[in-house]
């Protein structure tokens, strides 16, 4: 059984990507909930906020992946033997003690199957189609896998938004190292490489068959104020010269200002077209006439003779 002394729940929020989701279930658990972040202003009622410096200033996604994949590398998690990792977009509805009680540590690592992808190859296709990473990286990785006959391309992929791991298991550590090597060398989309990393390491995790969107213990996704391209997340950001990046931001600002002006003008036009505006038009004209008369009286020169 898990205890608060050696197990934690943790998430990672790097690069102002989205708003932190609270986990109300934390109030019913003895296991600490830890959020690793680079945001100095972040606060929470349910997470213990731990500040850290990302590994790569211009690559928040791979910085996040390193913390996600290798908890045994994280100083803030040194005192824990096991962890339940959840993506920030996952909200738990059952205490982590119940999740661990059902799934346990027998295989060192456990996580859900991907419930709406039939194969790793399908995941490659979707990642490329949706522009989640640099196309060159994606297809270089796929071409390499195909060239040496990577057998896991036909396997169902795992869903890595939730992971239960024993940090003390050397085989698990070795598999996580191999996984992060793939992520640093190839696509930052970690679900593309997990199956291959596990096969190379000889690890077979506990595979949980559940609907990724909703299960007996979680719901997903909860993506509040998410910006896919914030903080250098745009796949082209690291290849765009600073001057071009500044120009792109300037154009975005101009578009936002133009949109705000358009909305304001539309609101004014709607007011002018309203029945109440038309009915009160005589009163506004009278007010203007009285104001002009008052202004004229105030500027008229005084009669020194008193006549």
36-48 per-position pLDDT tens digit: 999 999 999 999 9
> Measuring CA to CA, which residue among 107, 80, 302, 303 is closest to residue 205?
107
Q: What per-residue confidence (pLDDT) applies to 123?
A: 97
Cα separation of 205 and 109, whole Å? 5
The number of distinct structural domains making up the chain is: 2
Q: Please state, in angstroms and rounded to a whole number, the distance separating the CA atoms of residues 111 and 206.
A: 6
96, 112, 94, 91: which is closest to 20 by C-alpha? 91
Query: In the numeric block, which tokens belong to residue 146?
Result: 């195909």
As given in the structure block, the two tokens for residue 261 are 């002006």
Q: 144 in a domain, yes or no?
A: yes
Q: What is the pLDDT of residue 227?
A: 73
Contacts of 122 (CB under 8 A, 6+ apart): 157
Residue 303's pLDDT is 58
Low-confidence ranges of the chain (pLDDT < 70): 1-5, 228-246, 248, 277, 300-307
User: Tokens 């990473």 identify what position?
Assistant: 133
Domain end, chosen from 191, 209, 233, is at 233
26 and 146 share one domain: yes
Same domain, 179 and 248: no
Residue 37 is assigned to a structural domain of this protein: yes
Domain that includes residue 180, residue range: 7-233
Q: Are residues 200 and 256 both part of a single domain?
A: no
pTM score over 0.85: no
pLDDT of residue 240: 57
Tell me: the pLDDT tens digits for 131-143?
A: 999 999 999 999 9
């Amino acid at each position: 059984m898990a205890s608060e002394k050696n197990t934690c729940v943790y998430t990672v929020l790097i690069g102002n990507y989205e708003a932190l989701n609270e986990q109300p279930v934390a109030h019913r658990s003895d296991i600490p909930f830890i959020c690793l972040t680079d945001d100095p202003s972040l606060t929470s009622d349910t997470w213990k906020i731990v500040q850290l410096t990302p590994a790569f200033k211009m690559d928040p996604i791979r910085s996040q992946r390193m913390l996600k994949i290798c908890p045994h590398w994280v100083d803030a998690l040194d005192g824990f033997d096991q962890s339940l990792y959840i993506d920030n977009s996952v909200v738990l509805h059952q205490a982590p003690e119940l999740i661990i009680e059902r799934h346990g540590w027998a295989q060192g690592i456990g996580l859900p199957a991907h419930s709406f992808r039939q194969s790793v190859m399908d995941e490659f296709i979707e990642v490329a189609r949706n522009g989640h990473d640099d196309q060159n990286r994606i297809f270089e990785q796929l071409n390499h896998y195909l060239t040496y006959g990577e057998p896991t391309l036909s396997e169902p992929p795992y869903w890595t938004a939730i992971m239960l791991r024993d940090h003390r298991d050397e085989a698990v550590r070795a598999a996580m190292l191999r996984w992060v090597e793939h992520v640093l060398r190839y696509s930052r989309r970690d679900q593309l490489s997990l199956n291959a990393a596990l096969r190379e390491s000889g690890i077979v995790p506990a595979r949980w068959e559940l609907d990724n969107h909703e299960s007996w213990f979680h719901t997903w996704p909860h993506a509040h104020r998410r910006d896919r391209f914030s903080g250098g997340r745009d796949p082209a950001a690291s290849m765009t010269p600073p001057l071009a990046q500044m120009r792109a931001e300037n154009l975005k600002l101009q578009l936002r200002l133009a949109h705000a002006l358009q909305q304001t003008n539309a609101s004014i036009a709607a007011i002018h077209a309203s029945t109440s505006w038309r009915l009160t038009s005589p009163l506004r004209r009278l007010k203007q006439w009285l104001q002009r008369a008052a202004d004229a009286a105030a500027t008229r020169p005084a009669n020194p003779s008193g006549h």
